[in-house]
């Protein structure tokens, strides 16, 4: 019974930590748990360090080796991800059967959703590229090259996993000078994934749009797919489901901010300021002279309209008498 008891936080810091882990309409940025296995080669250690540099500050790297086998028993891995509030993980290990092993995966509802085991066939460290590096917190431009990414469901899931692993945040607009980093994933005919990292250089072109050159800055990896654990279609559909608030139909002149508040814009036609009903204040009342002047103008308008109607009647009578005289003349003849 003691294990079923729920312990509530007693401190403000504990309550705040639990509130951060609660489900939200707009989720926080996903953090990545980076850890080493029981045995690791130098290439795997260096690759994890370089990937940690690319993922900072949304990553948490464990400092000691962990006896974890994700495909056989992932209980410890799920526990560490829950403790560190991470929804993505990178696990590196090396053995005689599977040298230079790199496992990527993501977690949903505190359980592993899907993961892929890659073998590093070729690796060049970040420090071996003697070029200028990018600044920290730079959002990368992610490019997928090759027509085979859409051939099978497994390759589509791997593409989704890589995109989820390396993208930082969704943005609505970009600034040309703010684009500094490119991550390229190329799928070859033998299903080898070539991962390349480039720094963007803007050169003069003689026009308004600058000329773009790509300078490789590392790291460089060639990955081959070894084992995969893909979630079922139903579980994947549930994991990808979005709240109804975010999927609301777009309405004209209606927007929604990050907190979920609705803002509307109303377009009003042209208004006659003189006809607006204002507050009846003593200072805005008409004086006796203004009332007398308005009464005289009203009488003048009425008299002018009366004279105009009398003139129209006179014109009608004159036309009628002229017709009668013409008829009399016809009879005399």
Tell me, what's the pLDDT at 326?
47
Res 1: pLDDT: 40
Contact 188, 146 (CB under 8 A): yes
The reported pLDDT for the residue numbered 117 is 95
For residue 270, is it within any domain? no
Q: What is the mean pLDDT of residues 153-179?
A: 86
pLDDT at residue 4 greater than cutoff 60 = no
Q: How many domains is the chain partitioned into structurally?
A: 1
Task: Name the percent of the chain lying above pLDDT 70.
Answer: 86
Most confident of 1-10, 39-48, 204-213: 39-48
- The answer to the question of residue 44 being in a domain is yes
pLDDT band at 58 (very low <50, low <70, confident <90, very high): confident
pTM: 0.68
Residue 83 falls within a domain, yes or no?
yes
Within a domain: residue 41? Answer: yes
- Res 154: pLDDT: 92
**With helix as H, strand as E and coil as C, how does 189-239 read?**
CCCEEEEEEEEEEEECCCCCCCEEEEEECCCEEEEEEEEEECCCHHHHHHH
Q: According to the model, what pLDDT value does residue 144 have?
A: 94
236/245 Cα distance (integer angstroms): 20
pLDDT at 129 over 80: yes
Residue of 323 and 189 predicted with greater confidence: 189
Closest CA to 46 of 135, 120, 133: 120
> Which range among 102-111, 148-157, 258-267 shows the weakest confidence by mean pLDDT?
258-267
Average pLDDT along the chain: 83
Containing domain of residue 41, as a range?
Answer: 28-241
Using the predicted structure, report yes or no on whether residue 314 has a pLDDT greater than 90.
Answer: no
8 Å CB contact between 245 and 27 = no
What's the DSSP call for residue 84? Answer: T
Residues belonging to the chain = 333
Work out whether the CA dihedral 83, 84, 89, 90 comes out positive or negative.
negative
DSSP-assigned letter for residue 168:
-
State the pLDDT at residue 19.
Answer: 79
Q: Cα(266)–Cα(253) distance, rounded to whole angstroms?
A: 8
Residue 82 CA: distances (Å) to CA of 73, 111, 128, 262, 295:
16, 9, 35, 34, 85
Q: Is residue 298 part of a domain?
A: no
Band (pLDDT 50/70/90 cuts) for residue 310 is low
Q: Residue 111 falls within a domain, yes or no?
A: yes
Q: Which of 92-96, 108-112, 204-208, 328-332 has the highest mean pLDDT?
A: 92-96
72 in any annotated domain:
yes
Give the pLDDT score at 253: 84
Torsion of CA 180, 100, 153, 185, to 10 degrees: 20
Mean pLDDT over 123-128 rounds to 91
CATH number at residue 73: 3.40.50.10480
């Amino acid at each position: 019974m003691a294990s079923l008891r729920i312990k509530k936080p007693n401190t403000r810091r504990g309550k705040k930590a639990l509130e951060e882990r609660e489900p939200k309409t707009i989720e926080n940025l996903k953090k990545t748990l980076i850890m080493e296995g029981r045995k690791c080669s130098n290439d795997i250690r260096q690759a994890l360090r370089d990937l940690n540099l690319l993922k900072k500050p949304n990553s948490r790297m464990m400092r000691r080796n962990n006896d974890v086998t994700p495909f056989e028993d992932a209980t410890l891995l799920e526990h560490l991800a829950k403790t560190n509030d991470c929804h993505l993980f990178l696990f590196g290990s090396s053995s005689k059967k599977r040298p230079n092993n790199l496992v990527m995966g993501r977690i949903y509802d505190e359980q592993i959703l899907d993961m892929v085991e890659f073998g590093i066939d070729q690796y060049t460290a970040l420090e071996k590229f003697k070029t200028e590096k990018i600044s920290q917190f730079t959002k990368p431009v992610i490019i997928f090259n090759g027509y085979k990414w859409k051939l099978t469901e497994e390759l589509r899931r791997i593409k989704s996993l890589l995109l989820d692993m390396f993208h930082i945040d969704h943005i609505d607009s970009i600034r040309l000078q703010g684009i500094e980093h490119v991550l390229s994933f190329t799928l070859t005919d033998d299903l080898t994934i070539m991962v390349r990292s480039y720094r963007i250089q803007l050169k003069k072109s003689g026009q308004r749009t600058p000329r773009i050159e790509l300078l490789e800055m590392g790291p460089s990896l060639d990955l081959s797919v070894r084992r995969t654990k893909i979630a079922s279609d139903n579980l994947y559909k549930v994991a990808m489901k979005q709240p109804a608030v975010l999927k609301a139909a777009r309405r004209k002149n209606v927007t929604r901010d990050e907190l979920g508040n609705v803002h509307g814009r109303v377009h009003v036609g042209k208004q006659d300021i003189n006809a607006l009903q204002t507050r009846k204040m003593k200072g805005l009342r008409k004086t006796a002279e203004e009332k007398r002047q308005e009464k005289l103008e009203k009488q003048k308008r009425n008299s002018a309209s009366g004279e105009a109607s009398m003139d129209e009647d006179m014109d009608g009578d004159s036309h009628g008498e002229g017709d009668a005289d013409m008829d009399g003349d016809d009879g005399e003849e």
